[in-house]
């Protein structure tokens, strides 16, 4: 008799430790900038109005992110802690959820841990976890949805409640920022295609076959289609209770109004860029660079210069692995990258910014973790570890200019602006 194959241990402890380390790294200098900076100047006033149900402002965006910022102000006060502590917790949630999604998608300890380290040191998540903007909230909810959807496929006996959580998270992601919409459609489409490819005769009502045995296509449509829409609609409830500019003509009319605001032609902005700039990490955004209470501080948004470029051939490897080896995790990374980036290629928004690349960059780093896992499984440990260790070292070098740490003087930016387009 042969022994049962050894089961890979779940790296849950490692995932928790990496998440805790990331969250602790977010805290230094979190409140050093004592006034709103960058887009906080839009979202903090809107959150204050939400608390008072005064004037409905910033109406071009959904409400969940502003509701969570308002919750922080209500709990901790209208101060930098109240503004920014809740975003750090959602940044930690996004990191942990993505590692869990990788684990359930691959059953690989190395890919899971490597992805956590790459994502934590990839710049995008760190910067957005420390500022009261909407982005970290939709990213966290999408990450939670990815975790639960992957877990439902891996553990179909838990499929029903995990798909329900997936649907709720998708609704909250869309209710945080519209950037989530195109990716939020993917779980339902994946379920439809997988069940169709399984060749079931009773396509709508069969409980057999991928991706989640025991769940019919009709039930999946409820959890992944109807439920997200209902949750999304419910997040607008406070909009009807504002004293000034409330929603008075229904959600459909309000969404037309939101769409008009989103598609309005804005004046050219010095930080605007295009998707081709994002892919090669060409154009940075300075969220802050000025003396704060007499001390020079700065916060730059770029991608990790190492992993943003090394991740591009990793994406090609994932495409190859998906097509020729039927690697479903690799296919998911490519699909999320292409869909989330493709949205901005065709979006009717004339002025775009590098922070729109945050979600594609997370898929890019997932692809890099999967590409590193291949040599690791073959025993080529140094090759597999090189990008991961390199990412941490680059992050450590850039940490002062990502975290608003004290700088020597006005020209300190030159230490990190390796390209003229980063200045």
DSSP 294: T
Indicate the pLDDT class of residue 209, thresholds 50, 70 and 90.
Answer: confident
Residue 175 lies in a domain: yes
- Report how far residue 407's alpha carbon sits from residue 401's, in angstroms, rounded to the nearest whole number: 8
Contact at 8 Å (CB) between 162 and 178? no
* Residue among 78, 105, 59, 179 at smallest CA distance from 331: 105
Q: Cα dist. 100→28, 145, 146, 171, 422 in Å?
A: 26, 11, 9, 20, 34
Q: Indicate whether 7 pLDDT > 80.
A: no
> pLDDT tens digit string along 78-115?
999 999 999 999 999 999 999 999 999 999 999 999 99
pLDDT of residue 267: 67
Q: Indicate whether 146 pLDDT > 70.
A: yes
pLDDT of residue 49: 96
**Beta carbons within 10 angstroms of residue 48's beta carbon:** 17
> pLDDT tens digit string along 21-66?
999 999 999 999 999 999 999 999 999 999 999 999 999 999 999 9
- Report how far residue 241's alpha carbon sits from residue 248's, in angstroms, rounded to the nearest whole number: 9
Q: Taking all residues of the chain, what is their mean pLDDT, rounded to a whole number?
A: 93
DSSP 10: P
pLDDT of residue 216: 93
Does residue 27 sit in helix, strand or coil? Answer: coil
Residue 417 lies in a domain: no
Q: Indicate whether 407 pLDDT > 60.
A: yes
> pLDDT tens digit string along 225-254?
999 999 999 999 999 999 999 999 889 998
Please give the average per-residue pLDDT across 357-384, as a whole number.
96
Residue 211 lies in a domain: yes
Does residue 39 sit in helix, strand or coil? Answer: coil
Q: Using CA of residue 104, residue 109, residue 111, residue 115, what is the dihedral sign?
A: positive
* Residue among 234, 231, 209, 211 at smallest CA distance from 222: 231
Residue 420 lies in a domain: no
Indicate the pLDDT class of residue 423, thresholds 50, 70 and 90.
Answer: confident
Residue 188 lies in a domain: yes
By percentage, how much of the chain surpasses pLDDT 90? Answer: 83
Contact at 8 Å (CB) between 319 and 240? no
> pLDDT tens digit string along 275-332?
999 999 999 999 999 999 999 999 999 999 999 999 999 999 999 999 999 999 999 9
Measured CA angle at 266 (ends 285, 419), to 5 deg = 25
Contact at 8 Å (CB) between 312 and 366? no
Residue 186 lies in a domain: yes
pLDDT of residue 272: 82
Contact at 8 Å (CB) between 365 and 115? yes
* Residue 95 CA neighbour count, 13 Å, CB half: 33
Please give the average per-residue pLDDT across 127-152, as a whole number.
97
Measured CA angle at 263 (ends 256, 347), to 5 deg = 110
Domain limits at 216? 151-228
Contact at 8 Å (CB) between 145 and 199? no
**Number of domains within the chain:** 1
Q: Cα dist. 336→64, 136, 182, 187 in Å?
A: 23, 17, 9, 11
Residue 187 lies in a domain: yes
Contact at 8 Å (CB) between 362 and 119? yes
Residue 24 lies in a domain: no
């Amino acid at each position: 008799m042969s022994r049962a194959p050894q089961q890979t241990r779940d790296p849950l402890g490692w995932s928790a430790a990496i998440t805790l380390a990331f969250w602790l790294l977010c805290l230094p200098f979190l409140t050093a900038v004592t006034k709103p900076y960058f887009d906080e100047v839009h979202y903090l006033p809107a959150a204050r109005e939400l608390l008072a149900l005064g004037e409905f402002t910033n109406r071009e965006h959904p409400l969940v992110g502003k509701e969570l910022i308002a919750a922080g102000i209500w709990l901790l006060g209208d101060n930098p802690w109240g503004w920014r502590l809740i975003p750090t917790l959602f940044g930690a949630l996004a990191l942990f959820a993505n590692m869990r999604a990788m684990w359930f998608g691959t059953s690989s300890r190395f890919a899971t841990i490597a992805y956590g380290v790459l994502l934590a040191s990839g710049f995008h998540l760190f910067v957005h976890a420390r500022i009261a903007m909407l982005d970290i909230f939709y990213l966290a909810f999408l990450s939670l949805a990815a975790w639960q959807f992957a877990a439902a496929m891996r553990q179909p006996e838990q499929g029903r409640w995990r798909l329900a959580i997936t649907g709720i998270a998708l609704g909250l992601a869309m209710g945080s920022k519209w950037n989530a919409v195109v990716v939020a459609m993917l779980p339902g489409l994946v379920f439809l295609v997988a069940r169709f490819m399984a060749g079931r005769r009773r396509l709508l009502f069969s409980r057999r076959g991928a991706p989640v045995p025991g769940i019919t296509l009709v039930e999946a449509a409820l959890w992944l289609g109807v439920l997200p829409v209902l949750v999304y609609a419910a997040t607008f409830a406070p909009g009807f209770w504002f004293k000034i500019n409330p929603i008075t003509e229904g959600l459909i009319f309000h969404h037309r109004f939101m769409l008009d605001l989103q598609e309005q032609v804005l004046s050219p902005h010095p930080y605007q860029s295009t998707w081709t700039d994002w892919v090669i990490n060409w154009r940075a955004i300075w969220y802050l660079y000025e003396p704060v209470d007499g001390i020079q501080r700065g916060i730059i948004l770029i991608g990790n210069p190492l992993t943003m470029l090394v991740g591009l051939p990793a994406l090609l490897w994932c495409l190859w692995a998906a097509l020729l080896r039927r690697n479903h995790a690799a296919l998911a990374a490519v699909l999320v990258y292409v869909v989330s980036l493709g949205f901005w290629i065709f979006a009717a928004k004339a002025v775009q910014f590098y922070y729109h690349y945050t979600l594609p960059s997370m898929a890019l780093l997932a692809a890099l973790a999967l590409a590193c896992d291949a040599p690791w499984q073959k025993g080529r440990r140094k090759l597999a570890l090189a990008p991961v260790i390199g990412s941490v070292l680059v992050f450590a070098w850039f940490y002062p200019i990502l975290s608003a740490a004290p700088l020597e003087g006005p020209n300190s930016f030159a230490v990190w602006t390796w390209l003229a387009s980063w200045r």
